[in-house]
Amino acid sequence: MLIEVKNLVKSYGSVQAVKGINFTVEAGSLFSFLGTNGAGKSTTINVLTTLLQQTSGTATVGGYNVSTNPDEVRNLIGIVFQDSIMDKMLTVEENLQVRGSFYGLTGTKLKQAVAHVIEATKSGDFAKRRYGTLSGGQRRRADIARALIHTPKILFLDEPTTGLDPKTRQDVWELIRNLQKEKGMTVFLTTHYMEEAAESDTIVIIHKGEIRACGTPEQLKERHCTDLLKITTANGERRVYNLAKTTDAFAIIDQQQEEIAHVEIISGTLDDVFLNLTEGFENETVH
């Protein structure tokens, strides 16, 4: 496993933000870490990226303990923060040169690294423009280029497409998937867009500092939500049924066929899973 978290606890005074959680991340996978604000998501990520010290428990990244070997961990990871930290007055290329120098790159090696990430992220058209003049999508490409400058094994993406329009979000995700496929990179994602998490190999949902669920998207939908059958009768009454399996709808429809005006079957989604595990939700009257 590329990342291993065991009994991880992080407290702020008397408040326990993360409560002894356990999970692993396989090399080369797309891993989604989901939770509401205040769930412990950011605290966990900050521990894994060496920005915070845990209270107890262990976390290793690439075999290195995040507490005792932080420099080795930092060399293995790249981070795209939700809010960019690139210098708005410098060009994209200049920002990348500065970032590369932090990893000891100089001269020809630095020039080659900058050229490589510009090409990989298709940032050539705006590489010599000041970062502050770029569009949202261009900034995201530059942010990803910055995170890749030292060829990390793991790319942390903290809500990378928040605030972007649907087309730009699609373009950014095409870039991320291509990078993962071509380089075998592990991607650790947080997002509020469930359709992005649906592409994951593994999803972990954290709520109030505890892991509520872990599995593939299909496993989570099977375990934590159901399909719904909605029937509207000829007199306008609406009836809603939870289905243990979709084919159960046939018997219900057959029993009521003379009364039915309209039938709709709604498949369970990751949104339903997330709400069921973190907030709960109210359906119409369910039989």
What does pLDDT average to over the chain?
Answer: 90
97 versus 284: the higher-pLDDT residue is 97
163 versus 190: the higher-pLDDT residue is 190
Q: State residue 66's pLDDT score.
A: 97
Q: State residue 287's pLDDT score.
A: 37
Q: State residue 33's pLDDT score.
A: 95
Per-residue pLDDT of 59-68, as tens digits, reads 999 999 999 9
19, β-bridge pairs: 9
B/e letters for 236-271, b = 16+ CB within 10 Å, e = fewer, are eeebebebeeeeebeebeeeeeeeeeeeeeeebbbe
Q: State residue 85's pLDDT score.
A: 87
The pTM for the full model equals: 0.83
Share of the chain above pLDDT 70, in %: 97
- 285 has a pLDDT exceeding 50: no
Q: State residue 168's pLDDT score.
A: 84
Q: State residue 59's pLDDT score.
A: 98
248 versus 58: the higher-pLDDT residue is 58
- 69 has a pLDDT exceeding 60: yes
> Residue 256, by phi and psi: left (phi above 0), alpha (psi -120 to 50) or beta?
alpha
* 16 phi, psi to nearest 5 deg: -95, 105
From residue 94, give the alpha-carbon distance in Å to each of 90, 97, 122.
6, 5, 16
Q: State residue 247's pLDDT score.
A: 87
Residue 49 structure tokens: 């990226």
- Calculate the CA dihedral of residues 238, 242, 248, 254 and round it to 10 degrees: -20
Q: State residue 217's pLDDT score.
A: 93
HSE of 243, CA atoms in CB hemisphere, 13 A: 22
Residues counted in the chain = 287
pLDDT (mean) for 36-55:
93
Q: State residue 169's pLDDT score.
A: 83
Per the CB < 8 A criterion, the answer to whether 97 and 127 are in contact is: no
Q: State residue 282's pLDDT score.
A: 37
- 98 has a pLDDT exceeding 50: yes
From residue 151, give the alpha-carbon distance in Å to each of 101, 122, 224.
13, 16, 38
Euclidean distance between CA atoms 137 and 135, whole angstroms = 6
Does the 3-219 domain belong in CATH 1.20.1530.20? Answer: no
- 10 has a pLDDT exceeding 90: yes
Among the residue ranges 21-25, 132-136, 209-213, 281-285, the one predicted with the least confidence is: 281-285
